[in-house]
Structure 1
Amino acid sequence: MSVIIEFVIVPLGEISLSRYVAQVVKFLDKKGVKYTLTPMATIIEVPTLSEGLKIIEEAHELMFELGAKRVSTTIRIDDRRDKERKMEDKVKSVLEKVKEG
């Protein structure tokens, strides 16, 4: 099974966040984590909730390493255990229903 987690990390007091987001993306690439970057959040797909929370904790701490003095992180978890599905499956399901009319 896999867990899909959406998270937003905001170093408070910053106007532009792109340099921080870029470092999180590099971090996820280095960790080999499957992710989707959206305009407002990052979504990861991981085998377990604990693994996902650990990754987000590390990304949160990365903000302090980059010089942030205060950080706010929001997390939304989709943990479904009755069947296997991936991020793409959720999008595909909606698009199929759109085509149905």
Structure 2
Amino acid sequence: MTTVAFLSVAPVIEESMASEVAKAVKALDEFDVAYETTPMGTIIEADDATEIFAAANAAHDAVDGDRVSTFLKIDDKRTSDQSAAGKVRSVEDELGREAKRDRE
């Protein structure tokens, strides 16, 4: 089974969040998860939801601030081992092209 999640952890601050977001991403290295950081959040993959919850909690705790906003969305399809990349490939197969477009 593969569990895929979208995680966004951010301090509520006026200036750049990059250094705090980097702390959250670095915290994921302590867990048995694969991840890819995007401009809006981080995609995480693990064998089960328990590992996702633990990694997300560590990422949340790693961020400093009086107020931290965390969003976690989990896709725990228990009858399939399809990876996040496999999910994207399925959409691309339906599109007949890469699921990406750059602005001109």
Q: Secondary structure at the match of 1:21?
A: helix
Deviation >4 Å, runs of 4+: none
Identity of aligned residues (%): 35
The equivalent residue for 2:59 is: 59
RMSD: 1.6
Q: Which has the higher contact order (CA 8 A, sep 6+)?
A: 1
Structure 1 unaligned spans of 5+:
none
Aligned residues: 97
For residue 73 of structure 1, the aligned residue among 46, 50, 70 is 70
Cα shift readout 1:46-87 (whole Å, capped 9, x = no counterpart): 1111111111111111113xxx11111111110101221101
* TM-score normalised by the chain length of structure 1: 0.86
* TM-score normalised by the chain length of structure 2: 0.83
Structure 2 unaligned spans of 5+:
98-104
Q: Secondary structure at the match of 1:58?
A: helix
